[in-house]
Amino acid sequence: MVRYWFFTAGYQTSYRGTLEPDQLAEMAIAVEQSGYRFLWSFSGILPESFLERTKNRGLVCGWAPQVEVLAHEAVGGFVSHCGWNSTLESLWHGVPIATWPLYAEQQICAFELVSELELAVDLNMDYRMENAENLVKAEEIEKAVRCLMDTENPTRKRVREMKEISRKAIQDEGSSFISLGRLIEDIYESFFIHL
């Protein structure tokens, strides 16, 4: 099966606005050099002739339905900002992540996914933002994508296992199902005790 990698870029990124043009250029270089098929959800200016050079192996679109894309069996990896929703959606569908956190909870999620849970590939970013330039070079992006798309990468196996575990958790008598039931009972009891 032909595998694609999916990523979004150009979205609002806190005080920095959107990704800077030099960072987008590095991403475009990495996309080309990786050799993998891709879907890039992005609306903005790309390097000259990029679309022409990559037209036979990728698609750049202004918006993509993330959940539907991640659910497709051809998606082999996801470069994600690691927001909680994106993280859950990716793991639910068994798609390995290359982390690209930008702000808020994304930094913590990315760190946990890579260091603690071994469910993601690190893009070797400056999480403390001590580097004024804070530019992730094309070589780093390409390296992470190659690792992400490697079918022998142990991260891929762990993500598949997490997909199965998460699906069991929401079934009747699964851990999530039971926890939600307990929460509802606690709220119900608390409500009637205080009346």
List, for residues 32-41, the tens digit of each pLDDT value.
Answer: 999 999 999 8
Q: How far is CA 65 from CA 70, 72, 81, 143, in A?
A: 9, 11, 16, 26
158 has a pLDDT exceeding 90? yes
- Residue by residue, DSSP assigns 133-190 as S-PPPHHHHHHHHHHHH-TT-HHHHHHHHHHHHHHHHTSTTSHHHHHHHHHHHHHHHH
Domain count, the chain: 1
Strand order in the sheet with 75-80: 58-61, 37-41, 4-8, 75-80, 97-99, 120-121
pLDDT at 16 over 90: no
Q: Is the pLDDT of residue 131 over 80?
A: no
Residue 144's pLDDT is what?
93
Query: 42 lies in a domain?
Result: yes
For residue 25, which phi and psi values (nearest 5 degrees)? -65, -40
Q: Would the pLDDT of 62 be above 80?
A: yes
135 pLDDT band, cuts 50/70/90, is confident
| Domain annotation covers residue 186 | no
**Do 121 and 144 touch, CB atoms closer than 8 A?**
yes
First CA to last CA distance, the chain: 60
| CA distances (Å), origin 155, targets 34, 119, 163 | 19, 5, 12
Res 44: pLDDT? 80
pLDDT level of residue 164 (50, 70, 90 thresholds): very high
Is residue 69, in this structure, part of any structural domain at all? yes
181 inside domain: no
CATH number of the domain encompassing residue 120: 3.40.50.2000
114, part of any domain: yes
131 to 79, 80, 125, 135, 170: CA distances (angstroms)? 22, 21, 10, 8, 42
What pLDDT shows up at residue 12? Answer: 43
User: Which whole number is the average pLDDT over 69-96?
Assistant: 94
Predicted model pTM: 0.84
Mapped onto helix, strand or coil, the DSSP state of residue 63 is coil
Q: Is residue 165 part of a domain?
A: no
Q: Is residue 57 part of a domain?
A: yes
Domain with 10, as residue range(s), is: 4-153
Residue 15: predicted pLDDT: 44
